[in-house]
Amino acid sequence: MAIKFGRPIENPRATRQAASLDLVVRPRRNRRNAWVRRMVRENTLTTDDLIWPLFVVDGSRLRVPVPSMPGVERLSIDEAVRAAEHAARLDIPCIALFPYTDPSLRDEDGSEATNPDNLICRTVRAIKKEVPDIGILCDVALDPYTSHGHDGLLRGEEIVNDETVAVLVEQALVQARAGCDIIAPSDMMDGRVGAIRAALDDDGRSEVVIMAYAAKFASAFYGPFRDAVGSSKTLMGDKRTYQMDPANTDEALREVELDIEEGADMVMVKPGMPYLDVLWRVKDAFALPTFAYQVSGEYAMIMAAANNGWLDGERAMMESLIAFKRAGADGVLSYFALRVAEKLKAAG
């Protein structure tokens, strides 16, 4: 007779000893104590899995709290350098930089994005000088620079594609020339990865990596990020004509495939936790280095609940990160990165 998983086997003894189920298979044996749980653990989280996003602001000795992201601050360049040092000491391999652009520098066309001396380029140069051994990722999109808060150029009611790509190429070039290691286009315009790859190569920068925000959804979970970069009040309308419909996954595979054909070295799925199914399918289909972005709203939810005493914040943080590993992520962009790295280091 076949053994049914977890079910009593027909055995006359079972009826005599009602207190015992007489199970052959007891999955709980592998969970009895910490050492055996460690033996059978299928996935692990290490600091190598972490990318830490930082927000920068002009000025010096500034740490400006972002109210909708408790524990996250906008840092002036000197403070960002110190944060990068701290991250490097903890063996975090890479940081991601996002600017809070002064409102006076924002305009219709986001022209500050292509200024070789903009806040991001100055930050990259300062960090590269002081902390040469940490990777730097820069976002490519116009939203921190436009007066309307969109990632591309607004012409009438429309975010125009090809004209925007030309500007994004310039933005990627100034960032790469400043020393950025990974260019991460997050704008979701068609054809931008190929155009950026060609321009970087023409500029003698074939070593610069492209991590495409390949499957990026039009999500409500970006709200606190827009507070941090100062675009939430100014954003006109929504981003549904370029970011993906949260209902779709086949489309995500097509987007990822296109970005790979255009030259992406790494791909990303964003947001993270509500899209683990997409992450799994992408990793399974393409086997490329695949990253997840645990976005600002996911961070804010955990922090808000933790600060209210509604859940154990530390455990929720660690559980959320192992979930990304289980779903196939090679790494995670997370605002928890520093805290997680500290915890992992303390645990030895």
Nearer to ligand PBG, 66 or 92 (CB): 66
Nearer to ligand PBG, 78 or 190 (CB): 190
Q: Is 114 in the site for ligand PBG (CB under 6 A)?
A: no
Sequence-ordered strand ranges (E) for the chain:
50-57, 63-65, 73-75, 94-100, 135-140, 153-155, 158-160, 182-185, 209-216, 266-270, 290-294, 331-334
Q: What is the rounded CA–CA span in Å between residue 148 and residue 145?
A: 9
Pick from 217, 225, 242, 336: which binds ligand PBG (CB under 6 A)?
225
Nearer to ligand PBG, 238 or 284 (CB): 238
Pick from 101, 290, 296, 334: which binds ligand PBG (CB under 6 A)?
296
In sequence order, the 6+-apart residues with CB closer than 8 A to the CB of 220 are 297
Nearer to ligand PBG, 151 or 259 (CB): 151
Nearer to ligand PBG, 9 or 147 (CB): 147
Nearest residue to 185 via CA among 140, 231, 243, 122: 140
Q: Is 186 in the site for ligand PBG (CB under 6 A)?
A: yes
Cα-Cα-Cα-Cα dihedral sign, residues 311, 314, 317, 321: negative
As a residue count, the chain comes to: 348
Catalytic: which of 128, 216, 283, 325? 216
Pick from 79, 109, 112, 139: which binds ligand PBG (CB under 6 A)?
139
Binding footprint of ligand PBG, residue count (CB under 6 A):
11
Pick from 105, 127, 141, 196: which binds ligand PBG (CB under 6 A)?
141
216 is catalytic: yes
Pick from 295, 303, 337, 338: which binds ligand PBG (CB under 6 A)?
295
In sequence order, the 6+-apart residues with CB closer than 8 A to the CB of 161 are 152, 189, 190, 191
CB of 145 vs ligand PBG, minimal distance in Å: 11
Q: What is the rounded CA–CA span in Å between residue 141 and residue 175?
A: 12
Q: Is 49 in the site for ligand PBG (CB under 6 A)?
A: no
Restricted to residues 235-294, the positions that interact with ligand PBG (CB under 6 A) are 239
Nearer to ligand PBG, 7 or 271 (CB): 271
Q: Is 96 in the site for ligand PBG (CB under 6 A)?
A: no
In sequence order, the 6+-apart residues with CB closer than 8 A to the CB of 149 are 143, 226, 231, 232, 234, 235, 236
Cβ 302 vs Cβ 316: under 8 Å: yes
270 is catalytic: yes
The alpha carbon of 287 is separated from its chain's Cα centroid by a whole number of angstroms, namely 18
Nearest residue to 189 via CA among 153, 221, 156, 225: 153
* Stretch of 104-112, 219-227, 303-311, 312-320 contacting ligand PBG, by CB under 6 A: 219-227
The SS3 of residue 256 is helix
Q: Is 324 in the site for ligand PBG (CB under 6 A)?
A: no
In sequence order, the 6+-apart residues with CB closer than 8 A to the CB of 326 are 42, 43
Q: What is the rounded CA–CA span in Å between residue 326 and residue 106?
A: 41
Catalytic: which of 239, 270, 283, 325? 270
Q: Is 143 in the site for ligand PBG (CB under 6 A)?
A: yes
CB of 90 vs ligand PBG, minimal distance in Å: 21
Q: Is 112 in the site for ligand PBG (CB under 6 A)?
A: no
* Stretch of 84-92, 203-211, 222-230, 324-332 contacting ligand PBG, by CB under 6 A: 222-230
Cβ 70 vs Cβ 307: under 8 Å: yes
Can you list the alpha helix ranges (DSSP code H) found in 287-312?
A: 296-307
Residues marked active site are found at 216, 270
The site for ligand PBG (CB under 6 A) is made up of 139, 141, 143, 151, 186, 222, 225-226, 239, 295-296
